[in-house]
Amino acid sequence: MDLARLAREGDESAFEEIMRRYSRRVFHYASKFFRQRSLVEEAAQEVFLKAFTELGSFEGRGSMEGWLTRITTNTCLNMLRSSRRRPELTVSDLTDDETTWLDNNLAAAATERHQSTERSSAAADLAGRVLQTLTPDDRLVLTLIDGEDASVDEVVKMTGWSKSKVKVRAFRARRRMRESVEKLLQRKDKG
Amino acid sequence: MSDHIISLIENASLASLSPSDLTAIRRHTDDCVDCRRAFEAAQISMLLLRERAAEIFEPSPFFHTKVLAMLRERQTAAGQWAWSRVWRAAGALASSMVLTVAALAALTFIPGSQAISGPQELTSLNSYSAEEVLLDQGEALNGQVSEAQILTTLYGAEDEAAK
C-alpha cells in the first residue's frame, strides 16, 4: 500500500519497484492469452500503463497482485476481442511434428499411459492453434482450470466473473475443445 | 450410458475425476466406440492444455525501463496537450480583448463615427462645400463668371449686413 501511495504521489522509483515485484506475474498471466512473445510484452506494457493511471482506484483492500491480475485479464481479453479471429483448425494445418505428437499421445491415451515427456513445442503450437478456435473467455477459463488446475473460486477472483459464469464457460469450452480435437483426429484417420 | 460418460468428461477437468469415475469410463469405453473417441479427444485436450500452460514468457531486462520511458512520454504528451489547451483558451481571450479595444478606439478616434454636433462641423466635414460646388460650376461656364463674382454673390450680403 505504501508503494502504491508513493507511486500515486508521483514517486517514479516506487512504481518501478511495483513493476519489479509483479512483472513476472503479469507476464506469466498474459502468457495464457497469447503465444507470441511480442503480444505478451505489449499486453504487459499496457497493464502497467493502465495500472499507473488507475492507481487512485487501488485502495489497498485487496492485494496488489490480485488488482494487477484483474487489469491483466481485462487488458488481454480486450486485445483478443478486438482481433476476433477464430479460424477452424483443419488436418492440413497440422505440421509433421504435430501429427507425430498426436499419434504418439493417441497411442498412449488408448493404453491409458499418459505421456509426461519433456516439453514439446509441437504440442504447445498445436494447443495454441486449437485454443484459437475458442472464444477468448472460453480459452482463459479452460487454460486456467484444466491446464493449470486452478479452482473455480480462483478464476472468479482473477476475472471478477460470477461463479456460475465460470462454471458454464468451463463446461462449454471443454466440450468445444474436445469436439475440435475429435474432429481433427477423425479427419487425420481418414486422411 | 453414453450420455453419462460424456457428462462425466465435460463437467470437470479429467485430472479431477475420481478413481471410480475413471473405472466407469473405462468399462463403458470398452464397448462404446463413440465414447472411446470422445474420451481420447478429452485426454489429448488435457495434454495440450498442460503443454500450453507450461509455456511462459519472462520479462526482458529492459522491460521496466521501456515502460517508464513510455509513461514519461505519455505524461509529456498529456502536459503538452494541457498547455496547448491553456494557450488556445488564452489566445481566444486575448483576441477578443484586442477586438474590443480596437472597436472602442474606432468609436473614439475615427471621425466618421463621431456624433455630429452642429452645422459648422457638418460643413467642414462635407467634402463638397457650397463654395467648391459654385466654383466648379464657374469653371464649367468657361470663365463667363469670375471667382470674385461668385464669392461676392455668396458673402456680399453677409458683409453688407455686418457693416
Q: Look up the CATH number of the domain holding residue A127.
A: 1.10.10.10
CATH assignment of the domain containing A19 = 1.10.1740.10
Residues A108 and A72 in one domain: no
What average pLDDT score do residues A33-41 get?
89
Which positions in chain B touch A166 (Cβ < 8 Å)? none
Contact (Cβ atoms closer than 8 angstroms) between residue A182 and residue B89: no
pLDDT in tens, A64-97: 999 999 999 999 999 988 876 655 566 567 777 8
Contact (Cβ atoms closer than 8 angstroms) between residue A124 and residue B54: yes
Residues A101 and A67 in one domain: no
d(C-alpha B41, C-alpha A127), whole Å: 13
Please report the pLDDT score of residue A20 as a whole number.
Answer: 94
Average pLDDT over chain B, rounded to whole? Answer: 76
Domain end, chosen from A19, A50, A83, is at A83
Residues A60 and A106 in one domain: no
Which positions in chain A touch B25 (Cβ < 8 Å)? none
Please report the pLDDT score of residue A27 as a whole number.
Answer: 95
Across the interface, do B54 and A119 touch by the CB < 8 Å criterion?
yes
Residues B6 and B47 in one domain: yes
Range of the domain at B7: 2-53
User: Which grid coordinates belong to A72?
Assistant: 491483466
Q: Indicate whether B62 belongs to any domain.
A: no
A132 touches chain B (CB under 8 A): no
ipTM over 0.90: no
B42 touches chain A (CB under 8 A): yes
What average pLDDT score do residues A47-54 get?
93
Looking at residue B58, what DSSP letter applies?
P
Which positions in chain A touch B66 (Cβ < 8 Å)? 45
Residues A109 and A68 in one domain: no
Please report the pLDDT score of residue B77 as a whole number.
Answer: 77
What average pLDDT score do residues B54-75 get?
89
What average pLDDT score do residues A104-126 get?
67
- The total number of structural domains in chain B stands at 3
Average pLDDT over chain A, rounded to whole? Answer: 85
Please report the pLDDT score of residue A166 as a whole number.
Answer: 95
pLDDT band, residue A50 (cuts 50/70/90): very high
Tell me the DSSP string of B38-49.
Answer: HHHHHHHHHHHH
- The total number of structural domains in chain A stands at 2
Q: Which residue has the higher pLDDT, A10 or A66?
A: A66
Please report the pLDDT score of residue B75 as a whole number.
Answer: 80
Residues A170 and A112 in one domain: yes
A114 has pLDDT over 70: no
Range of the domain at A135: 91-190
Model confidence, pTM: 0.65
Q: Residues B63-72: contacts with CB within 8 Å, 24+ apart?
A: B63/A19, B63/A23, B63/A41, B63/A44, B63/A45, B64/A16, B64/A19, B64/A20, B64/A23, B66/A45, B67/A19, B67/A45, B67/A48, B67/A49, B68/A12, B68/A15, B68/A16, B68/A19, B70/A45, B70/A49, B71/A12, B71/A15, B71/A49, B71/A52
Across the interface, do B57 and A40 touch by the CB < 8 Å criterion?
yes
B131 has pLDDT over 80: no
Q: Indicate whether B106 belongs to any domain.
A: yes
Please report the pLDDT score of residue A80 as a whole number.
Answer: 87
pLDDT band, residue A184 (cuts 50/70/90): confident
B74 touches chain A (CB under 8 A): yes
Domain end, chosen from A83, A117, A144, is at A83
Domain end, chosen from A66, A83, A100, is at A83
Tell me the longest C-alpha to C-alpha distance in chain B: 149
Residues A70 and A111 in one domain: no
Residues B103 and B140 in one domain: no
Q: Indicate whether B115 belongs to any domain.
A: no
Domain end, chosen from B66, B87, B110, is at B110
Residues A67 and A111 in one domain: no
pLDDT band, residue B81 (cuts 50/70/90): low
Please report the pLDDT score of residue B1 as a whole number.
Answer: 45
